[in-house]
């Protein structure tokens, strides 16, 4: 039971970090400042990434397109801004995780931001 609770807490922290990274990047790129919207985007993006990655051979490309599609759907600005938001979210997540893991020693990732 303790392992399940620990896993749930790790998932929630990672989701909140992923949402924060998307919030920071979407705020800077398109001016949308809604943290709950960013957290839902992180969750949907992660689900889309997972489903896309199940496709053999071209799964990574499909996963990336699906992930960008989720950001494009959830934020204004089109595909180019969606790509900029995704790249900025990735960079933001790296900084956030470095700080969180250095200060608190948690060793968590960022759910909803691929590659982090």
The tens-digit pLDDT sequence of the chain (116 residues) is 778 888 888 888 889 999 999 999 999 999 999 999 999 999 999 999 889 889 888 988 999 999 999 999 999 999 999 999 999 999 999 999 888 888 887 777 787 888 77
Q: Are 36 and 17 in contact (CB under 8 A)?
A: no
- pLDDT at site 28: 97
pTM over 0.95: no
- What is the DSSP secondary-structure string of 4-65? HHHHHHHHHHHHHHHHHHHHHHHHHHH----HHHHHHHHHHHHHHHHHHHTSTTTHHHHHHH
- pLDDT at site 87: 96
Q: Are 114 and 64 in contact (CB under 8 A)?
A: yes
Rg over alpha carbons for the chain, rounded to the nearest Å, is 14
- pLDDT at site 111: 79
What are the residue ranges spanned by the domains of the chain?
34-111
């Amino acid at each position: 039971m303790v392992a399940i609770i620990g896993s749930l807490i790790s998932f929630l922290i990672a989701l909140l970090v992923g949402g924060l990274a998307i919030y920071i990047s979407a705020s800077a790129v398109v001016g949308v400042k809604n943290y709950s919207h960013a957290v839902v985007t992180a969750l949907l993006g992660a689900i889309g990434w997972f489903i896309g990655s199940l496709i053999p051979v071209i799964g990574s490309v499909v996963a990336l397109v699906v992930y960008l599609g989720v950001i494009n759907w959830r934020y204004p600005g089109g595909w180019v801004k969606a790509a900029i938001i995704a790249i900025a979210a990735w960079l933001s997540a790296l900084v956030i995780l470095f700080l969180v893991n250095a200060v608190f020693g948690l060793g968590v990732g960022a759910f909803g931001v691929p590659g982090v």
